[in-house]
Amino acid sequence: MLGLFRKANAPDTDPAEADLELRAARDRALAGDWTAVHRLIAATGRDWEVRARRLSVLAAAAAQDPRWLLAWEAAVPDDPAVAILRARTLLDQDAGLAVHASRRAADLNPDDAHPLVNSMNAMFADGYRQAGDFARSLREALRRDPHHFEAHLAAVSFACAKWYGTHDEMFTAARGAAAAAPTGSPTVLLPLLAHFEFALREFPALPAAKAYFRRPEVAAEITCCAAKWRAGQHHRLTGRGVTARHWLALAAYLSDQDRETARALLTEVGPVLGDTPVYGYFWAGPAEGFHTVQRWAKVIA
């Protein structure tokens, strides 16, 4: 628990969020010690949710300053983690090169779905033409890890109406993943994202979005997903733990129910917003929405 706070100070938008080990290792890498992140990823082992999140944050750090990644790559050129980071850093430069690098990373990481997620994300730039390749990468990712949050997140996003699908396809992807996922997995909350995306498209004004979330069938689905998430054995803040809490708190606000639970969730994350974008769907920016929901939940004055 990061603690209750009372003033609406600027939120903590560090993408490493509550993963203090990640923050420390990343900062040491940016200071020139790449071995810090090498040890961190090795220690993460086969915790795929935490590994994926850590690699995503480290990739952003490498895009900011690639010198530490270049040093790591020179020292251990076939390191599986380096291959994933290299593929991810290419995503904003050249989608074709990113897909090629992701395939190499997938070969070096035969059990990890994350390289396939990198490949899928690279296809958003030309999704209509690459829909078949996207589907093949998704199948391979889910063969490696059937409940991989990042893979299902990419699939739900690809299927939404603002990208290459329809509302029906988006909800089908989200609900299928959530129904199959084990209790406690952030994947069980993907229908909440589908509802956010639907409301963003169909009810962009906040009062209309709130009316939509108050519909009995919408509120019931949110309650069901939340209960399945809470039924898990542990609710850590690393991995996608912060994302899960923000999604649940926002859904509670929009449906105007379960204020006490929202307060508990936001107390756990404290000032940490990270790079969660969904508040920005309904307000001018994520920070404004975050503070509004905090006030509604009575976490801040």
The residue extents of the domains of the chain are 1-12+191-301, 19-145
Domain 19-145 belongs to what topology? 1.25.40
CA–CA distance, 124 with 34 (Å, rounded to integer): 31
Q: Which amino acid is at 196?
A: F
Q: Kindly give the confidence (pLDDT) of every residue in the chain, 301 residues in length, as a single tens digit, with 9 standing for 90 and above.
A: 444 455 678 999 999 999 999 999 999 999 999 999 999 999 999 999 999 999 999 999 999 999 999 999 999 999 999 999 999 999 888 888 998 999 999 999 999 999 999 999 999 988 888 899 999 999 999 999 999 999 999 999 999 999 999 999 999 999 999 999 999 999 999 999 999 999 999 998 999 999 999 999 999 999 999 999 999 977 899 999 999 999 999 999 999 999 999 999 999 999 999 999 999 999 999 999 999 999 999 999 8
- Do residues 83 and 93 touch, judged by C-beta distance below 8 A? no
- Do residues 228 and 191 touch, judged by C-beta distance below 8 A? no
In terms of Cβ atoms closer than 10 Å to its own Cβ (0-12, 13-18, 19+), residue 233 is exposed
Q: What is the pLDDT of residue 7?
A: 65
